[in-house]
């Protein structure tokens, strides 16, 4: 299992939100690249970047911070937040992003996801963020009326090979990852799932490990590594255990 340290960017800074609420923000670093260097130095194999401003605006808003991260570290990064056109996809991949995460586009423009998967196989993932079973879009500000399992199956059908699944009600709450729902989703759609939202301790990684056989191949950790609730180095070692 791969552990993905999360770097959420808003206004060029590294922040964390609680339950995706922009009025519940904590700033952890003025320069996100400092956090990127820290997590890479501890052994992270990947970084998970989120452009929070982009998720609201529908276009990339933290490009200078993203570019600085890419120039500073040598491990691959994935990026989500406001990516809603082929032009943006091409531009970001040209910058050096290894994997792009399409969220709202999966609901509003599935043909874009299909085209991106066809043109850039292996570089496109789908972000499915759910609350009470319903997929949320537009920076988590709107419901979609689509169940997360149904959307995951649709994305598998158009060529997506990875899904980042976030339980919004747990995100930033340190209340524990929803391991059972994540495992069920992997079995239902038949493609790789990266768990996100609510990781509070090493026990959450232990809870996810049995679902590796079902296709849960990664776990994103945000607030817990910033507050010290999880030691990233220990988490990385635990994730590699058989």
Q: How far, in Å, CA of 90 to CA of 60, rounded?
A: 13
**Residue 57: is it exposed, middle or buried by C-beta count within 10 angstroms (0-12/13-18/19+)?**
middle
Per the annotation, the verdict on 8 as an active-site residue is yes
For 16, half-sphere exposure in the C-beta direction (CA atoms, 13 angstrom radius) is: 20
Cβ neighbour number for residue 90 with a 10 Å cutoff: 13
The three-class DSSP label of residue 220 is strand
164 near 220, Cβ under 8 Å? yes
Per the residue annotation, which of 30, 31, 51, 129 is the catalytic one? 129
Q: How far is CA 205 from CA 68, 131, 157, 172, 202, in A?
A: 30, 21, 29, 16, 5
Active site residues: 8, 129
């Amino acid at each position: 299992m791969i552990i993905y340290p999360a770097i959420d960017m808003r206004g060029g800074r590294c922040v964390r939100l609680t339950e995706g609420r922009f009025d519940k923000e904590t700033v952890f670093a003025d320069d996100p690249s400092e956090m990127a260097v820290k997590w890479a130095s501890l052994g992270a194999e990947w970084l998970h970047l989120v452009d929070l401003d982009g998720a609201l605006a529908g276009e990339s808003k933290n490009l200078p911070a993203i570019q600085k991260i890419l120039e500073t570290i040598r491990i691959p990064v994935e990026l989500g937040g406001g990516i809603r056109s082929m032009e943006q996809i091409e531009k970001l991949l040209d910058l050096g992003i290894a994997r792009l995460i399409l969220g709202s586009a999966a609901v509003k423009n599935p043909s874009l996801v299909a085209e991106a998967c066809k043109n850039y196989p292996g570089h496109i993932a789908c972000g499915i963020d759910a609350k009470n079973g319903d997929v949320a879009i537009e920076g988590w500000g709107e419901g979609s009326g689509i169940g997360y399992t149904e959307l995951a199956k649709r994305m598998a059908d158009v060529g997506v090979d990875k899904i980042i699944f976030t339980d919004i009600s747990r995100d930033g709450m340190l209340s524990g990852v929803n391991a059972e729902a994540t495992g069920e989703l992997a079995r239902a759609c038949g493609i790789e799932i990266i768990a996100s939202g609510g990781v509070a301790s090493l026990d959450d990684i232990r809870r996810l490990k049995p679902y590796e056989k079902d296709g849960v191949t990664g776990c994103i950790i945000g607030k817990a590594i910033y507050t010290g609730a999880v030691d990233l180095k220990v988490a990385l070692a635990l994730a590699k255990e058989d």
